[in-house]
Each structure stands twice: as C-alpha cells, then as structure tokens.
Amino acid sequence: MRDVADRAGVSLGTASNVLNHPERVSAAAIERVRMAIDELGFVRNANASTLASGRSGALGLVVINLSNSMFVDVARGAQAAARAAGHNLLLADSADDFGAQGDNVDSFNEARVAGLLLAPMQDSSEHVARLKARQTPVVLINYDQGDDNLCTVVVDNEQVGYLAVRHMLDIGCRRIVFAAGGDEYYQPVRLRRRGARRAMREAAGAASFEEIMADGVKEADGLTVARQIAGRGPDTRPDGIIGVSDSLASGLVEGLSEAGITVPDEIAVMGCDRNSSAGDCRVPLTSIAMKGQEMGAAAVRLLLDEMNRDGDHVHQRVVLTPELIVRGSTVLP
Amino acid sequence: MRDVADRAGVSLGTASNVLNHPERVSAAAIERVRMAIDELGFVRNANASTLASGRSGALGLVVINLSNSMFVDVARGAQAAARAAGHNLLLADSADDFGAQGDNVDSFNEARVAGLLLAPMQDSSEHVARLKARQTPVVLINYDQGDDNLCTVVVDNEQVGYLAVRHMLDIGCRRIVFAAGGDEYYQPVRLRRRGARRAMREAAGAASFEEIMADGVKEADGLTVARQIAGRGPDTRPDGIIGVSDSLASGLVEGLSEAGITVPDEIAVMGCDRNSSAGDCRVPLTSIAMKGQEMGAAAVRLLLDEMNRDGDHVHQRVVLTPELIVRGSTVLP
C-alpha cells in the first residue's frame, strides 16, 4: 500500500481512502491511485486480517449443478451475505460429477480460501475430510450427512412433500398420485416421499394415494409417467399429480397435454422445487419454494462465525421452512 | 509427494499412480495413499507444470449475471473444455455490479489462476489492465471492446436481430414491431436493433416496421409495451412483435394475454436470447440460441493457447453464428 501511495504521489491515508472510502477523495486522486495500482499490479485484499494466516479473503462455494436454478439462488444469497461482510465469493460447479466436486474442493483448498460452502447431492465426508485436514472451515448446504462436526443448512424437504399433498387435498383432489424416482440417489426425494405419506395418513381416507415410481426426476421421466396415465380409462386417472421435481412436473404437463388432457381442469399438476430452469411449461407450475437465497445467506453467516470465533463457534443445523407457491397448473385463474 | 509416499509406506511411483493412473494400483494401495493425503492435507495440482510459475492450475470465469441462464451455459461449456484439458474452472458472479466484477477479477488475480475468462456487459479495460499487470492471460466473452490485445468470443448479435425480423417476415407478418430498451447500456441491444433494421431494409416494403422504445429489457418493460399495444384499436396493432430479450418477450406475452389478445393467433411474439430463466411464459417462446456453451468452450481454447504457446499466440476475435429456434409463440403447433 505504501508502494502505491508513493507511486501515486499521495499520502498513505489518501491511497487507503481511494480503496475504502472513495467518496472522501478527489477524482484526480482516485485516478492517480488507480494508475499506480495498475502499474504495480497491486491486488487489494478485502480482508487483510486473513492474510496473516496465509489465506485469501475469498470464500468458496461448490455446487453440484448450476443448471438447477436453485443453486444459482444459493450463490446469489451467499454472495450478498459474503460481500456485506467484506468477503468475495468464488464458485465452482460440479456438473453432477462427484469426482469434479472433489477437484473443485481441491482447487479452493489450493487457492487458500478463507472458508468453503459445499452443496452436494450425496455424502461428501471424503471431501470434507480434505478441507478439515487443511483447517478450512466448511458448511454443508442442501444435504444433511448427519455430521455434528460441521454446520449444515437445509430446507425441510419432508415438509415439502407434506405441503404438496395438503395443497392437492385443499383444492379438492380425491385421487392423488405422487410421481418420483431416484430415491436411492437423492435425499430430497426420499424426504419428500416421507412427508407426502405423512400428509396422506393424517387425511385418513379423504383421498386415494398412489405412488408411481419414475426412472428419475427429469422432464423425460415425467413424460413417461404422463403417457402411462393417459393410457388409462378416464375413470381410473388421478385428479391431481405431484411431481417430485419441477422438471418432472413439466414433463407431466407436456405429456398430458399431448394426450389431450387439460391441466388443471382434468388433472391438477404441481412440482416440488420451484425452479426457473425446469424447462418450459405450458402452464405456470404450482410448486414449493426451496429458499435457495436464504440457504446461501444462512450458510455464509455460519461460516463467518466459524472463521471469526474459532474456538467459540458452535456447530448448528439450520432447517428452513419451504413455502407453497400456487399457480395456474393447479388452480384456474 | 515424497511425504505422501513415505507416510503411506509405498513407493513414489505407486503414490503417483494413485493420483494419475488409479487403474494400475491395488485398492489397498489407493486407500493407504488416500489416507496419507488426508492426514497430510496434501492438495493435488491438476497441472504441476504451472506450479513452477507460482500459478494454480485453475482457470477463472467472471460473469456479469449468473441469473441469466446464458451465462450458466457459458460456464458449462467452459468447464467441460477446461476439464478436458486437465484444468479446473472456478467461477464468480458479478450480479450486474461493475464494482463487484472488479473485486472478482482481483480475487482471481490473488488466487493466482492460470488464466481468466471475463464476460462483462460494458467496457472493462480497467479490469483487463489489472490482469495484464500480473501477466494473467484473459479472454473476453460476450462483449467486444474492440481491443486487439486480447482474444474475444461473441455471438453475432447483429445477425440475431436480422434472423428475428426474417422469421417474422417468413411467417407472414406485415406489421412488425421491434421492442427494445437499454441501447445506452447494452451492446447486444444496439447490435440486434441494427440487424433488425438491415433485414427490414432488405425486405423493402414487404412489411411495416415500428420501433418501440422500452425502458429496459426486463419482463416489466414488456408488460408496459404490451399494454400500450393493447390500448390501440385492433386495426393499428402489429401482427408480430420482437422483444429484444426473452424476459421482455415474456412480459409481452403476459400483457397481451391479460388484454385478451391471443399469441400467436392475433399477434406473434418472439424473444432474442433463448433463456431458460426468462421467467414463465404462457406459450413456449420462439427465440434465438445464443450459443453460450460454445462461447465458453471457444474461449477456453483461446485461453489455453495463450497460456501454453506464450509468444506464439495470435489474438483472435471469434464470432459465433446464432440460431433461430421456432416454437409456439410464433407458429401454431
């Protein structure tokens, strides 16, 4: 910083103000300091105190799949919270590849980030161990691996399934289908299924409940389920279908429409993970908000607490409440 | 690496094979080496040769707004190309904030990335200079600032506007509106407008052409334009409207539908930047593919060439051709 001030021909205080309080200095001083910075290749560190530890001031976020807009929301929330605290956020996308997730974790370890947020889709104890080995604080997002030695932020996915069935009952559905696949891979699918069953048990006979096993959670899987349902006689079709993901629900709407079955008039359809990248849907899809931004923000707060309070930090499991969003695929305007 | 081998009680060759050719070693050896790595907090570097230069093997990508799915596509394409070449990709989102873009550039400079991809929305010479000051190779994506001292990858946005008008003419529209705002901020808007005008000039009288100035490129701006058009008598309304962005076009469809005007029967509507996060649209939107993945992949190839060939590298401007995607908002199924 002294080098910059000397080169710019200003005081150390002025140089510092250019970076931290530009409103206090003249435009000419800003320009001189900027030029000096460029000439020297000086790199500002948002959090000088962390430099002492040999770490950068940046936080890292590794998400399993950035094509799922929920993780873009997580990044947005995390970034706003990080910047508010004077830290920058760097991201890495694992593109559904667990090996890539490991490489991303290693890259951030190597970059000496001050802390890491990890949003996986499966148990990642192995990657967490690599971070712990370098004393890098880590917070898990959207996956609970039952580890009490770190902080975890999730949405209550059991409540997601519960809210979905409750909504279908509330709008008068009497033959409800829950369409889902991938239980063996996806923690949210297992939990949403459990919540849906609980809501049906509580409703005790108010409606019939059928679970259709799809091959996965993608649009193509929803298309397949829709065609199976369209192949039934009208009397044996459901009047409400819950797709465990918005992608699957989009496929359901598409498949039913192709077969001439109108949504929501003949069959109401909803998804479970409000997702702006679920593909195009012919009708606005009722779904459940997964609180991505809130998860990202909460995770940053926990990470900063662990970074800054060190020995005093108490690991927490934060469970956020999902929220029903009613739209045209279940309720006529 | 010697430390890892010693701790694991295996030869240096075996330890190296575990990292680079795991198929050549026994499961037991892999496990021993993995444990040693975890215990030592060893971080693998994907590209050891770059370590000699003090740089990490990671590439960085700074995008102006990750909520725009085109930039997620860019990240996807860049990541696949980077990984295929043995490099990991780290991202940063500037959330439409030029200051945040500067911080992101600094963070990557500080993390000593091997090279940086920068996808801005305005002239970023100031940030490029900071990278050059540290000899960090940089490639611009989706913005051409006319700088011959670096590589640039863009889609031909003039062709985007041209293709849009051509499509409206091809489906028989005779009163075409081009709705756009933000010319002063957005290079793509200026270029698309220019291309649209060129197509209309070439069509010489085949249709009338009206340009409506919107306040910006968002859904709300499209809603405003739609209401203005709905307020006209049916005879003076257009039969085709091009929204300069998919977000704006979604607002157009919404506003026309609210006014009881059907799309595409009474008025065909299209967007110009095929975007899965443009918000929900009542009908699948005809649009133009912006080739995000291809831009990301091409930019990584140029960056690697600059990193690896050093003096022999020749800066290039790569212009990709956009592609019309016809869907239900302009053509009945």
Query: How much helix, strand and coil, in percent to the nearest 5, is found in chain B?
Result: 45, 15, 35
For residue B7 the two structure tokens come to 């701790």
CA B324 – CA B333 distance, rounded (Å): 17
Q: What DSSP element (H or E) covers B319? A: strand B317-320
A191 touches chain B (CB under 8 A): no
Is a pLDDT exceeding 60 seen at residue A41?
A: no
- Is A277 within 8 Å of B277 when comparing Cβ atoms? yes
Question: How many CB contacts within 8 angstroms connect chain A with chain B?
Answer: 152
How far is A107 from B88, CA to CA, in rounded Å?
A: 7
Write out the H or E segment, with its range, that includes residue B82.
helix B69-84
Q: Which residues in chain B have Cβ-Cβ distances shorter than 8 Å to A107?
A: 46, 56-58, 88, 90
ipTM score of complex = 0.70
Burial class (CB in 10 A: 0-12, 13-18, 19+), B133: middle
Query: pLDDT tens across A263-281, in order?
Result: 999 999 999 998 876 556 6
Q: Among residues B65, B63, B67, B70, which one has the least CA distance to residue B271? A: B70
Query: Nearest by CB to B104, which of A45, A88, A106?
Result: A88
Q: How confident is the model at residue A189 (pLDDT cuts 50, 70, 90)?
A: very high
Residue A90 has pLDDT above 70, yes or no: yes
Categorize the per-residue pLDDT at A111 as very low, low, confident or very high, splitting at 50, 70 and 90.
Answer: confident
Cα(A74)–Cα(A295) distance, integer angstroms: 6
The parts of chain B modelled with pLDDT lower than 70 are 1-4, 12, 15-24, 27, 30, 33-54, 277-281, 310, 333
CA-nearest residue to B286 within chain A is A280
pLDDT for the residue A44: 41
* Interchain contact B285–A (C-beta under 8 A): yes
Shortest distance, CA A242 to any CA of chain B (angstroms): 19
The alpha-carbon gap from B280 to the nearest alpha carbon of chain A, in Å, equals 6
Domains and CATH numbers, chain A: 2-44 (no CATH), 56-155+292-321 (3.40.50.2300), 157-290 (3.40.50.2300)
Q: Give the tens place of pLDDT for each residue, B173-225.
A: 999 999 999 988 899 999 999 999 999 999 988 999 999 999 999 999 999 99
**Helix (H) or strand (E) run with residue B118 in it:** strand B115-119
pLDDT band at A46 (very low <50, low <70, confident <90, very high): very low
Measured CA distances, A106 to A73, A136, B37, B49 (Å): 24, 11, 12, 17
Rounded Cα–Cα distance for residues A253 and A251 (Å): 5
| Neighbour order of strands in the sheet with B59-63 | A317-320, A151-155, A138-141, A115-119, A59-63, A89-93, B89-93, B59-63, B115-119, B138-141, B151-155, B317-320
Q: Which residue in A23, B102, A25 sits closest to A12, CA to CA?
A: A25
Q: Which of B46, B107, B126 sits opposite A90 (nearest CB)?
A: B107
Query: If you average pLDDT over residues A300-304, what whole number do you get?
Result: 96
Q: Name the residue facing A41 among B60, B76, B134 (closest C-beta).
A: B134
What mean pLDDT comes out for the span A19-25? 60
Output the CA–CA distances (angstroms, integers) from residue B107 to A76, A85, B312, in the order listed: 17, 15, 28
The pLDDT tens digits for A126-147 are 999 999 999 999 999 999 999 9
Q: What sign results for the dihedral spanned by CA atoms B307, B312, B315, B318?
A: negative
**Residue A77: closest C-alpha in chain B:** B95
What's the average model confidence in pLDDT over A171-187? 95
Would you call B33 an interface residue with chain A, using a CB distance cutoff of 8 Å? no
Q: Do A38 and B130 touch (CB under 8 A)?
A: yes
In this prediction, residue B205 carries a pLDDT of: 86
